[in-house]
Amino acid sequence: MIDRKRGDTNMRAKFPGKLLPYLFLLPTIIVCGLFIYYPAAMTFRTSMYQSLFFGARQRFVGLQNFTRLLSSPAYLRSMGITLWFAFLVVVIGLSVSLLVAVLLNRKLLAAKALRVALVWPYALSPAVAGTIWLFLFNPHSGLVNYLLDLIANKKPDWFSQPGLALSMLVVTAIWNNFGYNLVFFLAGLQNIPDSFLEAAEVDGASFWKQLFHVTIPLLSPTIFFLLVININYAFFDTVGMVDVMTRGGPANATNMLIYQLYKDGFQNFNSGLAAAQSLILFVFVVVLTLLQFRTTGRMVHYGG
Amino acid sequence: MRRNMRSLVFAVLLVFVLGVAAAAAPVKVTFWHSMGGDIGKAMEAMIDTYNASQSEVYVESVFRGTYPEVLNATIASAMAGTAPTVVQIYEVGSLAAIDSGVFVPLSEFIGPDDVDWNDYVDAVVNYYRQGDIQWSMPFNSSSAILYINADMFRAAGLDPANPPKTFSEIIEASKAIVESGVAPYGITWPLHTWFVEQWMAEQGVALVNNDNGRSARPTTINTDTEEMYRIFNWWKQLYDEGLWINPGVEDWDQANALFMGQQVAMEITSTSDVTFLTNAGREAGFEVICAELPVPDDVPRQGVVPGGASIWMVANNPKEELEAATKFLIWMSSPEQQVTWHQSTGYFPIRKSSIALLEEEGWFTENPNFRVALDQVLETIPGVGTQGALIGRFQEVRNILEEAFQMVMGGTSVEAALAQAKAQVEQSFADYNSLF
């Protein structure tokens, strides 16, 4: 006993000085510093400048970029559109994928093949997904209007009407992220012991009762995780989709915050304004995520 | 001794081989461009010809997306020190290119005897010239023209040999087409500010102040003018009456698809599609006839702004690479190559002697559609309007005017939408100018 104890103390390496731990941390510090903290610091700095051509010309303007954005009706409108879009994508997207996951989790014929087929869309980048749906929604030659024409004798112009253009993007965004949500829901569902659901069934609970009172509470960690991920998806990853499908139109009706940022930063050579926008977006998402941890986070049941 | 001899021979041989290799190794020139689809293939073919024709310069071309994307990528990569040698920049990116400080004027590399500037079409070469500085090599030039589906015209009781020339004739023709049930819509063109720029030029007025930005950086845009109202009101009428169909913002391909799919009987688009649309019509079984860009009623036709692009040299490159690039640019704009380029696309030849070559060949008699595209440019009256605007953040101005028309489509009045656009543009100009 004593020997072993001594052996332990002897074997524990003793390093001179307090610097060594930092030496081991150095690679991480360098990588994070170079690729995360330095760019972030530059973004803060750039946001205080009126600048042209990625900083080739610039002039310090203090908080002007921020005051201008926050007092611009167009920017505030874009913020409202983004929130509405994110709300629709998250709520509809998560509900539909949860429902499909529950159905797929049953003992179905060819369940595995179906799962693969449904997860597939996630492999496509948002820009490619946008291109596919652009063809489907084409008012004259697209499949969507062909079917609508057969069923309801209508051929709406998806690209000229604000409401339709936004709903088109919502559908595409949900479809693109559907596979991702499905994988996590299926994994979560497989962790729920069959005995729980069997007990509920013996007690005579209907499909919906089982869903709301057994499955969803037990899935709450997964749902919470997907909520955060999907909000980030709706806020940031949809820029390619918007660019391909609507370019923010008609009349800015689908001009998301991230697309406005892209236009200012990369088409209008206005890095200062774009940097300010990225900081506003950053604060926005941090606040939203914190709010979730405060509210929804409390309802999460991690089991055990 | 023998060993020494052998090494000496070896050394001499080595020097010789390396020397020959160094002399023979062509200088590599990277070239970023925006020519996609069939036009892109035509350009690649030209570059292949060039690479095969000589051994001093090897050009590696890369398709880098749309015009705004290429300009942006070039400035970004020049800041990072990884820029290509030469880049194709669209005409409205010229001031941004100059102001960015990334490019070196072509005139620094071209001696007085290397190029005969007098042989270049004046309107084109002047666009890229500031005083004595020739900034870039003109390459592809185009303007907007009217394409007509002649079979549909005949079916609607219209005469394709007498195409609509004015705004109200376009409305009449469109009505005839829609009412006779020949096509669901009369006409289309991409929802793009480029056309508005052309119609301002046709009326002989500047788009922005300070002589269209040529005497100083502009501070305001002429959206609150009779000329601009004329364009917007006519466009609005076409949309409201279901005569013009919206193919999408800056969506050239969709506009072509509507014309080829016979959803419309007329399309206004770039002359660079003459070859493509004429052939597409032939394949789909209809005849395509080109006509000059229609203009507002009772306004004398002033002409168009030479659109398209020129090729710029990135400053931060080795001298020998830029000199090699200069040879390539001279070749690309040579009369023979401009003939090839014109015949395979529809971009008009930028050399006067190319036009002579084409006429000799009888090209225009056989292909009258190409004649229209060229005439429109040659007939252009030089002036402040037809010279085209120089604007730093041109793409932003285009986006703002495109938004303005979309607001009009949504029910906002033309005056209100254009007043809002003016305020936005003035803000953009003030910001830009504050940095110089």
CATH code for the domain of A128: 1.10.3720.10
The reply to whether A88 falls in a domain is: yes
- Nearest Cα to Cα of residue B301 among B170, B199, B197: B199
Query: Which chain B residues contact residue A52 at CB under 8 A?
Result: 99-100, 392, 432, 435
Query: If you average pLDDT over each of A189-198, B122-131, B224-233, B386-395, which comes out highest?
Result: B224-233
Structure confidence at residue B409 (pLDDT): 92
**Taking CB atoms and an 8 Å limit, are B396 and A50 in contact across chains?**
no
Q: What is the mean pLDDT of each run of 10 residues along chain A (304 residues)?
A: 49 72 91 93 93 86 94 93 96 95 84 85 89 89 91 87 93 94 93 87 87 89 91 91 90 93 89 94 88 78 64
Chain A contact for B396, CB < 8 A? Answer: yes
**The pair of three-digit structure tokens given for residue B45, joined into one six-digit string:** 């073919």
Domain that holds residue A253: 74-299
Chain A contact for B421, CB < 8 A? Answer: no
CB contact at 8 A, B149 and B288: yes
**The pair of three-digit structure tokens given for residue B137, joined into one six-digit string:** 């090599």
Query: Which chain B residues contact residue A263 at CB under 8 A?
Result: 396, 399
Query: What is each CA distance from A265 to A29, A125, B401, in whole angstroms?
Result: 29, 22, 19
Which residues are CB-contacts of B293 (< 8 A; sequence separation ≥ 6)? Answer: B143, B144, B145, B146, B198, B199, B202, B268, B304, B376
The reply to whether A146 falls in a domain is: yes
Chain A contact for B262, CB < 8 A? Answer: no
Of B254, B410, B432, the CB nearest to A250: B410
The reply to whether A13 falls in a domain is: no
- The arithmetic mean of pLDDT across residues B396-421, rounded, is 95
- Please tell me the CATH code under which domain B22-142+307-361 is placed: 3.40.190.10
Query: Which chain A residues contact residue B79 at CB under 8 A?
Result: 53-56
- Asked whether the predicted pLDDT for residue B8 surpasses 60, the reply is no
Nearest residue in chain A measured CA to CA from B259: A140
Beta strand segments in A154-230, E: none
Chain A contact for B407, CB < 8 A? Answer: yes
Per domain, the residue ranges of chain B are 22-142+307-361, 144-303+385-433
Residue of higher predicted confidence among B14 and A115: A115
- The arithmetic mean of pLDDT across residues B390-405, rounded, is 94
The reply to whether A265 falls in a domain is: yes
CB contact at 8 A, B432 and B220: no
The reply to whether A171 falls in a domain is: yes
The reply to whether A35 falls in a domain is: no
- The arithmetic mean of pLDDT across residues B218-232, rounded, is 97
Average per-residue pLDDT in chain B?
A: 91
How many CA within 13 A on the CB side of residue A278?
20
Q: Which of B403, B409, B427 to mutate to test the interface with A (most CBs of A within 10 A)?
A: B403
Question: What is the complex's ipTM, to 2 decimals?
Answer: 0.80
The reply to whether A100 falls in a domain is: yes
How would you class A292 by CB atoms within 10 Å of its CB: exposed for 0-12, middle for 13-18, buried for 19 or more? middle
Residue of higher predicted confidence among B4 and A119: A119
Please tell me the total count of domains within chain A: 1
Measure the CA dihedral A34/A37/A40/A42, to 10°: -60
The residue whose two tokens read 């001499």 is: B12
- Asked whether the predicted pLDDT for residue B157 surpasses 60, the reply is yes
pLDDT digit string (tens) for B254-298?
Answer: 899 999 999 999 999 999 899 899 999 999 999 999 999 999 999
Most distant CA pair in chain A, distance: 89
Query: Which chain B residues contact residue A140 at CB under 8 A?
Result: 258, 261, 263
- Asked whether the predicted pLDDT for residue B24 surpasses 70, the reply is no
Of A140, A246, A251, the CB nearest to B403: A251
pLDDT digit string (tens) for B133-142?
Answer: 999 999 998 8
- Asked whether the predicted pLDDT for residue B421 surpasses 70, the reply is yes
Mention the CATH class of domain B144-303+385-433.
Answer: alpha beta
Structure confidence at residue B279 (pLDDT): 92
Q: Which residues pair with B266 in a beta bridge?
A: B148, B187
